[in-house]
C-alpha cells in the first residue's frame, strides 16, 4: 500500500475531518484543499460526502471548479464518496436548478436515490476488487449510479443490482461512506493511484 502520498481533501463542506483522519492513519500527508494553489501541491483529491449542490456552488465561488476539472483531465486520481460521487459524474439526475458537476466519470448518478435522512441504512457488500471480508457500508441519503459507461468498472452493487461503487481509470466513487465505518480499503486503493500518479508526474518533469 502506498503510504507516503501527499493527497488533498476538498475542504469546502462535508465530512472533511473523517477523510483526513483516515488518510493520515494510512500514512499519507494530507492537505485540506480550498484554493487552486493548494490543489497544485497534491497527487490526488478526495471529494467528501456532504451536500453536492453546496459543494458545487462553493467550488465556483472559491475558483476551484475549473482547476479540479483540469486536474481530472490531467489524470489526477480522485475519490468521491456520496456527494463526491455525484460531483464526479458526467450526468447528475434530480439535481437542483443550475447544479453542475466536475465530471470525468462516464456515469449518471441520481441524488438522494434512497430518500431522505430517515431512509439511511447499513449493509454488507461483496467487493471482489477488494477481496475479503465484505465491506460494511453506511448509506446516508445516498446517490446511486443509474448508467455506467463502457470504460467504467462496477466495483459493488446491492443485491437488487443497484450500482453503488465504480471506478474509471484514476477516478473512484462510492455511494456510501467507508470513512465512517473504519473501512480503509477504498482509501488505500485511492492512495495507490495517487502514488502512481506522483511517480509518473515526477518522471515526466525529470
**CATH classification at residue 141:** 3.40.50.880
Residue 178 lies in a domain: yes
Q: What is the pLDDT of residue 2?
A: 45
Residue 185 lies in a domain: yes
Q: CA-CA-CA-CA torsion for 64, 68, 71, 75, nearest 10 degrees? A: 170
Q: Which of 177, 183, 187, 195 is catalytic?
A: 177
Residue 65 lies in a domain: yes
Q: What is the per-residue pLDDT across 146-163, written as a single tens digit (0 to 9) for each?
A: 999 999 999 999 999 999
Average pLDDT over residues 51-64: 96
Residue 191 lies in a domain: yes
Closest CA to 140 of 83, 192, 95: 83
- Model pTM above 0.75: yes
Average pLDDT over residues 105-122: 81
- Start-end of H helices in 26-106: 36-39, 52-61, 65-73, 83-88
What is the residue range of 175's domain? 6-205
Q: Which of 18, 19, 179, 195 is catalytic?
A: 179
Residues 65, 48: Cα–Cα separation, whole Å: 15
Place 1 in a pLDDT band, splitting at 50, 70 and 90. very low
Lowest mean pLDDT among 72-81, 107-116, 156-165: 107-116
Q: Is 51 a catalytic residue?
A: no
Average pLDDT over residues 26-45: 97
Count the helix, strand and coil residues of the chain and give each as a percent rounded to the nearest 5. Answer: 35, 30, 40
Q: Residue 205 pLDDT > 70, yes or no?
A: no
The neighbour count for residue 49, using CB atoms within 10 Å, is 30
Q: Is 82 a catalytic residue?
A: yes
Residue 35 lies in a domain: yes
Residue 1 lies in a domain: no
Residue 98 lies in a domain: yes
Number of domains the chain contains: 1
Lowest mean pLDDT among 35-39, 104-108, 114-118: 114-118
Q: CA-CA-CA-CA torsion for 85, 45, 118, 130, nearest 10 degrees? A: 70
**23 and 9 Cβ atoms separated by less than 8 Å:** yes
Q: Is 205 a catalytic residue?
A: no
% of the chain at pLDDT higher than 90: 84
Q: What is the pLDDT of residue 116?
A: 58
Q: What is the pLDDT of residue 114?
A: 73
Q: Which of 18, 82, 183, 187 is catalytic?
A: 82
46 versus 141: the higher-pLDDT residue is: 46
What is the overall mean pLDDT for the chain? 93
Amino acid at each position: 500500500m502506498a503510504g507516503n502520498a501527499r493527497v488533498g481533501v476538498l475542504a469546502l463542506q462535508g465530512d472533511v475531518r473523517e477523510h483526513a483522519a483516515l488518510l493520515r492513519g494510512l500514512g499519507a500527508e494530507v492537505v485540506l484543499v480550498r484554493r487552486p494553489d493548494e490543489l497544485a501541491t497534491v497527487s490526488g483529491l478526495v471529494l467528501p460526502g456532504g451536500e453536492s449542490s453546496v459543494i458545487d456552488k462553493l467550488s465556483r465561488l472559491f475558483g476551484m471548479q475549473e482547476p479540479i476539472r483540469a486536474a481530472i483531465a490531467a489524470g489526477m486520481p480522485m475519490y468521491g464518496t456520496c456527494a463526491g460521487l455525484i460531483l464526479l459524474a458526467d450526468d447528475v439526475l434530480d439535481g437542483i436548478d443550475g447544479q453542475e458537476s466536475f465530471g470525468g466519470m462516464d456515469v449518471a448518478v441520481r441524488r438522494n436515490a434512497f430518500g431522505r435522512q430517515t431512509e439511511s441504512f447499513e449493509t454488507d457488500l461483496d467487493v471482489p476488487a477488494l477481496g475479503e471480508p465484505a465491506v460494511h457500508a453506511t448509506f446516508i441519503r445516498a446517490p446511486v449510479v443509474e448508467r455506467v459507461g463502457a470504460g467504467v468498472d462496477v466495483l459493488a452493487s446491492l443485491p437488487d443490482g443497484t450500482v453503488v461503487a465504480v471506478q474509471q481509470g484514476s477516478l473512484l466513487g462510492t455511494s456510501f461512506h467507508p470513512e465512517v465505518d473504519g473501512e480503509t480499503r477504498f482509501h488505500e486503493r485511492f492512495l495507490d493511484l495517487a502514488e502512481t500518479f506522483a511517480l509518473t508526474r515526477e518522471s515526466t518533469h525529470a
